[in-house]
Chain A
């Protein structure tokens, strides 16, 4: 029963991240093609990092990242490398500074979007044969838009958690409870 609920929860998150990625790559592109979209998928990743036990949550982050990368040409290796470092930096940040609030989640998404772009840029320079460019305008737009869109996403994920009734996989320490 517990595993079943867990699977439904994870499956729901995968569907959700795919939905968000499709929204970002298709709907946003068709409506506001000139403007870089917010990193909606990263908000889900951030939520998982905050609300789940590490290091098990890293696996979930990987699954979600692979699902999202199906809508991109990004190499899975590069993507997971970036997210590996991203994950531990966020964990480090969370261990030292944590407030149970939506504001914290918004703040994390602002910092997270910046961190993701920074890590991606560095990783690309180190790993890829044709490294990426600065793309200042696109990156700045994404960094500014992501926290804005994280607010409704926060409520949506929380709602999903309530629907799936998966309290067993909540963090067992009060420090990690994300209410």
Chain B
């Protein structure tokens, strides 16, 4: 009974395939919001899209975060470098400022004083700790001689022990061989400041009747013609008045901390400089002076 000898199954499939788009167009034209044929897939595709959106977001944000981290790391390194450089510069500036201040003070001191002085830098200390000496970067060429006084702005440091062409050793007032003529600033009691070999000195041959107190300042006596008169030397640390001794036992702490000194003055010629403060005088009525 098959006149055209057709495969009806194939024909039905073709018709169905032709109708499906038509049906779909018809459905669209009816204004339905979603295509019924897509609906089962839309749900799945939504899940898939959500998944990939999330995944992409994750990857992007991770990548961005990583790239950002790399940038941050680099930036951090750059900033650290910069910070380090700036810190170094600040430290250098501070050092320079401090040095500048010190040098300005030294210059002012030199300008105000009538002493003839040579400025020098401390470069080293003694090889053996038994000798309290410092090495200066100036010597014979700059006019330094053995026995000259070495001072700082705060006080006396010592005397030149030996001198080479461009180098000099300073014997500190704490050295066991050092002896400097001293004077108690307040009472004007005299004595000799002798080094103890450590970090202290002693005031010797001071009359036991002298009234000395802890904290009294000892200044140079000026009798040795090495140091200018009245220049600070040390401070009284301890006073012992022993019954059997004719003199007081006085321990002194030097005003200048020797191992912190960087710049010094070597007194080439003190020119009779006297740092003793002028006595406070009360106003007296002026007297007429009669000239013969």
Flag whether B124 is at the interface (Cβ < 8 A): yes
Closest to A36 in B: B129
Contacting pair A74 B129 (CB below 8 A): no
Per the CB 8 Å criterion, the residue count for chain B at the interface is 22
Which among B75-83, B108-116, B169-177 touches the partner chain?
A: B169-177
Q: How far is the CA of A72 from the CA of B260 in the complex (A)?
A: 19
Given known pairs A26-B123, A29-B259, the reply for A74 and B128 (CB within 8 Å) is yes
List chain B residues, Cβ under 8 A from A133. Answer: 130, 176, 196-198
- Interface 1/0 per residue, B117-137 and A, CB below 8 Å: 000000111111111010100
Contacting pair A73 B162 (CB below 8 A): yes
List chain B residues, Cβ under 8 A from A25. Answer: 124-127, 135
CB-contacts of A8-44 with B (<8 A) = 21-22, 24-26, 29-30, 33-34, 36, 41
Closest to A23 in B: B124
Contacting pair B135 A71 (CB below 8 A): yes
Flag whether A142 is at the interface (Cβ < 8 A): yes
Q: How far is the CA of A132 from the CA of B131 in the complex (A)?
A: 8
Q: How far is the CA of A72 from the CA of B129 in the complex (A)?
A: 9
CB-contacts of A51-82 with B (<8 A) = 68-69, 71-74
Flag whether B161 is at the interface (Cβ < 8 A): yes
Contacting pair A73 B198 (CB below 8 A): no
Flag whether A162 is at the interface (Cβ < 8 A): no
- Interface 1/0 per residue, A134-173 and B, CB below 8 Å: 0100110010000000000000000000000000000000
Contacting pair B161 A73 (CB below 8 A): yes
CB-contacts of A100-149 with B (<8 A) = 120, 124, 129-133, 135, 138-139, 142
Contacting pair B130 A120 (CB below 8 A): yes
Contacting pair A142 B129 (CB below 8 A): yes
Contacting pair B126 A33 (CB below 8 A): no
List chain A residues, Cβ under 8 A from B123. Answer: 26
Q: How far is the CA of A162 from the CA of B131 in the complex (A)?
A: 37
List chain B residues, Cβ under 8 A from A33. Answer: 125, 259-260
List chain A residues, Cβ under 8 A from B128. Answer: 72, 74, 120
Partner of B130, one of A30, A69, A129, A135: A135
Given known pairs A72-B126, A130-B177, the reply for A135 and B198 (CB within 8 Å) is yes
Closest to B171 in A: A73
List chain B residues, Cβ under 8 A from A120. Answer: 128, 130
Q: Could you list 5 A-B pairs, sorted by A, with CB under 8 Å?
A: A25-B135, A73-B126, A74-B130, A120-B130, A132-B130
Besides A72-B126, A130-B176, A131-B176, 5 other CB < 8 A contacts? A24-B127, A25-B124, A72-B133, A130-B197, A132-B176
